[in-house]
Amino acid sequence: MSTFWMTARRLKVFVRQPAVLFIMLIQPAIWLFLFGNLFRRVVELPGFGTGSYLDYLVPGVVVMSAVSSNMWSGMGVLEEIDRGTMNRFLITPVSRGAILNAAVVEQAISTTLQSLIIVLLGMAAGAAFPGVPLIVAAVLLGTVFSAFSNTIGMLVRQRETIIGLNTLLLLPLTFLSSAFIAKDLMPGWMQAVAAGNPVNWALQAGRSSPDLTAGAALLTLAAAMVWLSTRTFRTYQKAV
């Protein structure tokens, strides 16, 4: 119940800033337009496995957007620490786990909305793919990076670190996956890296013929990261 009320509090702030969602959708729309036109003939390569690059691209954009938006979650945690809001919560009876879990749930809701809109845009453009598994995979991947960002925020307490991590991880994790090119066409070492890349697990779980093993691995990692962020908060609480 504590998580519900804490999440509702955060969502009220989100609803009052509709421009944030609009801004979050501009970049994915640009990716769909640019990459969709730039690489549309790549499907002609032997072994690519699909006749429409748009069918292949939309899941990649959904997953990439989930990583990009959720990696900033720790900034909200830092803002609440700086304002003293976090410390005020510590003297209330609210569950300690609910304080950080609410941030993760809020991000999951916004990721669901963002992913749904991108999926609908892709379908309107003529793309065909399993929408529901893709959105679920994007939310799980977002949970991984949201909890990770919260953990870093609690430990380091520097905005520059979160900005640096976002810049450092987003493109390498995306391009070391099958987001834009079929895995069989990647160099061998990239295929090996992709096998352990959670971004690629989300793509495997969200594309046609969803990979349940990849989905299970993603769910396990998401649960582990949420647990880690909660443990990190307890460390912060002891230091206050």
pTM of the model: 0.90
Residues 104-121: b if buried by 16+ CB within 10 A, e if exposed: bbbbbebbbebbbbbbeb
CA distance 217 to 205: 10
CA distance 7 to 183: 38
CA distance 114 to 93: 33
Q: What tens digit of pLDDT does each residue of 116-166 get?
A: 999 998 998 888 888 999 999 999 999 999 999 999 988 888 889 999 998
Nearest to 118 by CA among 73, 18, 110, 52: 110
**Spans in the chain with pLDDT lower than 50:** none
Hey, where are the domains in the chain?
Answer: 2-239
List CB contacts of 10: < 8 A, sequence separation 6 or more. 76, 102, 103, 106
| Residue 208: φ, ψ to 5° | -55, 145
Nearest to 104 by CA among 200, 224, 15: 224
CA distance 42 to 44: 5
CA distance 192 to 174: 14
pLDDT at 10: 66
**What count of residues does the chain have?**
240
pLDDT at 82: 84
Query: What's the CA angle centered on 194, arms 190 and 198, to 5 degrees?
Result: 155
pLDDT at 85: 79
pLDDT at 211: 93
CA distance 146 to 143: 5
pLDDT at 225: 96
pLDDT at 37: 86
pLDDT at 100: 77
Nearest to 96 by CA among 227, 226, 233: 233
CA distance 110 to 155: 25
